């Protein structure tokens, strides 16, 4: 493959990982617990795209983006309703356990419907290529990168420069204080879940378009975004996105010379070493879990 195409593809994969990690860290900050269903929500988004494309095969994949965003936001709100966050006594472990159960159920259901062989979704804007510096570049990859480049600052604006975003962060950082200030923390948790799941679904659509998707990918995607968050520093939104991008670039680089599994193994070993020697992550924790 042409080097330039490879680089663009690496950044396209990076764009997907960034969106996955962003949704993951949002939910983490919003509910103070790890959403272990996050990877399976990504694959769910991808399979919704595939299902939609089979109903209306003429439509380009990009048309499904707002539809998937909407459907996945509803899925996220439902997920928030069934994870046991309604009782204040629930520990983060119990919340994570509930999301793990949901994730396994999703993966099993998708496996029942589609099997485990990786498949591709509808092309976003047709399979054409565009010329760039004399090289032919897949239009898909460019659209994925553009989508990520638009969405990431949009999420940043939403969180840091809107009243809704401030309430959301307040509810996640100190639920008791937020409740005292009249913020409905349960509703905020549901909104966080909806937003995070939406991002997961969009990432799934993009992943299915340019690359392939299988129900078994969920776990892998979850571990990657979890690793990105741990390396970046617990709860650091921007740094997590940066590390997710770095993981994608590293993975693509390694897979040109060796099996992709080697890259996964290296990332995991790096994580273990880092946690053993620099447990705060590279950029320190942003979210302090309540004692």
Partner 1 sequence: MVNAVRSAPERPFLVAVPPAVAVAALLFYTASNAHGVRLATLAGIYALLVIGYQFVFGRLGALSLAQGAFFGLGAFVTARLGLADLPFLITFPAAIALPALVAALVVGPVLRLQSYYVPLVTLGLAQMLFIAALSSGDIAGVPTIMFLPGLELPRGPAFAIFVWVLAIVGALIAWSLSATHFGRFAEVVRDNPVAAGAVGLDAGRMRLQGFVLSAAYGGGAGALHAHLTGVVSPADFSLPVMIMCLAMATVGGRRHVTGGIVGVVLLNLAVEAAGLSPLYQPIFYGLMVLIALYWLPDGVLGLLERRFAPLSVVVSPAPQAIPARKAARIAGPLLAVRGITRRFGGVIAVDNVSLALHPGEILGMIGPNGSGKTTLLNALSGLSPAQTGRIFLSGRDITNLAPHEVARVGLARSFQTAQLADRLSALDNVAAARAALNGLDFGAIVQRARAETAFARARAEAMACLDIVNLVAAAATPASQLVPADRRRLEIARALALDPLVVAFDEPAAGLDADERDALAALLKQLAARGLGLIVVEHEVAFLRGIATRLACMDAGRLIAIGPPEIVMADPKVAAAYLGAGAVGGGRIK
Positions in the binding site for partner 1 (CB under 8 A) = 33-34, 36, 82, 84, 91-94, 96-98, 100-102, 104-105, 107-109, 111-112, 219-220, 222-223, 226-227, 230, 234, 259, 261, 264-265, 268, 271-272, 275-276, 279, 284, 288-289, 291
Cβ-contact 35, 27 below 8 angstroms: yes
Rounded Cα distance between 245 and 251, Å, is 10
Nearest residue (CB) to partner 1, 109 versus 249: 109
Rounded Cα distance between 81 and 185, Å, is 13
At closest approach, how far in Å is the CB of 130 from partner 1?
36
Q: Single out the residue of 60, 37, 35 nearest to residue 49, CA to CA.
A: 60
Q: Which residues of 170-197 are buried (b: 16+ CB within 10 A; e: fewer)?
A: bbbbbbeebbeeebebeebbbbbbbbbb
Nearest residue (CB) to partner 1, 142 versus 189: 189
At closest approach, how far in Å is the CB of 58 from partner 1?
33
Nearest residue (CB) to partner 1, 58 versus 272: 272
Rounded Cα distance between 3 and 243, Å, is 23
At closest approach, how far in Å is the CB of 112 from partner 1?
6
At closest approach, how far in Å is the CB of 194 from partner 1?
19
At closest approach, how far in Å is the CB of 170 from partner 1?
16
Tokens of 189: 């948790």
Instruction: Give strand pairing partners of 124.
Output: none
At closest approach, how far in Å is the CB of 212 from partner 1?
17
Nearest residue (CB) to partner 1, 18 versus 33: 33
The string of DSSP codes covering 46-101 is HHHHHHHHHHSTTS-GGGHHHHHHHHHHHHHHHHHHHSS-SSTT--HHHHHHHHHH
Nearest residue (CB) to partner 1, 164 versus 268: 268
Nearest residue (CB) to partner 1, 4 versus 101: 101
The string of DSSP codes covering 190-219 is HHHHHHHHHHHHHHHHHHHHHS-B-TTHHH
Nearest residue (CB) to partner 1, 135 versus 170: 170
Radius of gyration of the chain (CA): 19
At closest approach, how far in Å is the CB of 172 from partner 1?
14
């Amino acid at each position: 493959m042409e080097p330039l195409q490879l680089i663009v593809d690496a950044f396209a994969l990076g764009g997907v990982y960034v969106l996955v990690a962003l949704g993951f860290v949002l939910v983490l900050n919003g509910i103070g617990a790890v959403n272990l269903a996050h990877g399976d929500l990504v694959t769910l988004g991808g399979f919704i795209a595939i299902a939609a494309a089979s109903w209306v095969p003429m439509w380009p994949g990009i048309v499904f983006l707002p539809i998937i965003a909407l459907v996945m936001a509803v899925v996220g709100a439902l997920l928030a309703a069934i994870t046991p966050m309604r009782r204040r006594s629930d520990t983060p472990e119990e919340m994570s356990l509930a999301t793990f159960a949901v994730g396994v159920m999703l993966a099993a259901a998708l496996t029942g419907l589609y099997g485990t062989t990786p498949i591709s979704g509808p092309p976003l804007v047709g399979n054409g290529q565009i010329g760039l510096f004399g090289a032919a570049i897949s239009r898909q990859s460019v659209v994925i990168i553009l989508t990520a480049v638009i969405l990431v600052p949009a999420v940043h604006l939403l969180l840091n420069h809107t009243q809704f975003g401030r309430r959301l962060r307040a509810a996640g950082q100190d639920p008791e204080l937020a409740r005292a200030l009249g913020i409905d923390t349960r509703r905020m948790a549901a909104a966080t879940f909806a937003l995070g799941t939406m991002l997961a679904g969009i990432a799934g659509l993009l992943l299915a378009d340019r690359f392939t998707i299988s129900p078994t990918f969920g776990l892998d995607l979850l571990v990657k975004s979890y690793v990105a968050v741990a390396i970046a520093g617990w709860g650091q939104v921007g740094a997590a996105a940066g590390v997710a991008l770095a993981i994608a670039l590293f993975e693509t680089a390694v897979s040109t010379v060796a099996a992709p599994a080697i890259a996964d193994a290296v990332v995991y070993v790096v994580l273990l070493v880092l946690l053993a020697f620099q447990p705060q992550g590279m950029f320190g924790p942003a979210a302090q879990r309540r004692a």
